[in-house]
Structures are given as structure tokens and as C-alpha cells.
């Protein structure tokens, strides 16, 4: 019986140690609905501070993926998909873009560059 608890404790300790190794500094680039609600064309998209900073971080991060957290509902989903379409049209491959519902604010997209471990 004590061996079972010992094994569980070791497993728990390993999970804690491995999860702490994954934690790294994360920059969240915020794109507000106010910033987005302008006439959109390629030049205005690339000038948006959040997108400019996110793309710069993406280009300097090896094995990166762009995680776009969007507000739930139809409006948030449409917004995220429109941004994704713009990013693709500006040259970012769709395989590097991941859309995830769950922005912390209904009036913003949160863009995070994640380094993938391959």
C-alpha cells in the first residue's frame, strides 16, 4: 500500500517539475475592437501595433505558432476568421495560425506567439 502512494507521489512530483519547465515568458499582443473597426486594407492591417509586434516576435521565434484567442459567439468567431484570412493573404501560412475561443475580454483578440517543441 505504501509503495502505491510512493509511486503516486513520484509521479506527481515529476508532473510538477516538468510543467514548470514549460512555463516561459509570454507576451500577449492585444488587438482591440476599436483598433480593428477601421477601413481595412493591407497597409492598415500591417500598421496595427499589436499585429506588427506579434509578427516581429513570430519572425524571431524559432518553431513558432501564432495563437489567436478570440471572444466567443458569432462576432468573435467572425473577427478571428477575418484576421486569420488577412494574415494568410499577407503571407503567413495557415499552418502557423491557431484560433482558440476564450479571450479574457469580449472587445479584444489576444495574440500569443508560442514556441513549439518538436
DSSP string, 19-62: HHHH-----EEEEEHHHHSS---HHHHHT-HHHHHHHHHHHHST
DSSP letter at 101 equals E
Q: For the whole model, what pTM was predicted? A: 0.77
The overall average pLDDT reported for the chain is 84
Banded pLDDT at 116 (limits 50, 70, 90): confident
- Inter-CA distances, 67 with 10, 14, 26, 79, 95, Å: 33, 27, 11, 14, 11
For 35, residues 6+ apart whose C-beta sits below 8 A from its C-beta are: 48, 49, 50
Segments making up each domain of the chain, as ranges = 25-115
Average pLDDT over residues 55-83: 95
Reference 81, options 99, 101, 94, 103; nearest CA is 99
- Across the beta sheet with 97-101, the strand order is 28-32, 108-115, 64-70, 97-101
User: Does the pLDDT value for residue 60 go beyond 60?
Assistant: yes
25-115 maps to CATH 3.30.1330.60: yes
Ranges assigned E (strand) in 71-117: 97-101, 108-115
**What pLDDT is stored for residue 89 in this prediction?**
96
For 5, residues 6+ apart whose C-beta sits below 8 A from its C-beta are: none
User: Does the pLDDT value for residue 46 go beyond 50?
Assistant: yes
**What pLDDT is stored for residue 24 in this prediction?**
53
Amino acid at each position: 500500500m505504501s509503495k502505491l502512494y510512493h509511486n503516486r507521489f513520484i509521479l506527481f512530483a515529476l508532473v510538477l517539475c516538468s510543467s514548470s519547465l514549460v512555463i516561459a515568458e509570454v507576451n500577449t499582443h492585444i488587438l482591440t475592437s476599436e483598433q480593428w473597426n477601421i477601413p481595412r486594407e493591407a497597409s492598415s492591417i500591417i500598421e496595427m501595433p499589436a499585429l506588427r509586434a506579434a509578427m516581429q516576435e513570430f519572425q524571431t521565434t524559432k518553431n513558432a505558432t501564432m495563437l489567436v484567442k478570440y471572444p466567443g459567439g458569432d462576432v468573435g468567431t467572425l473577427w478571428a476568421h477575418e484576421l486569420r484570412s488577412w494574415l494568410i493573404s499577407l503571407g503567413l501560412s495557415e499552418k502557423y495560425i491557431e484560433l482558440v475561443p476564450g479571450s479574457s475580454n469580449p472587445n479584444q483578440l489576444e495574440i500569443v506567439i508560442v514556441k513549439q517543441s518538436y
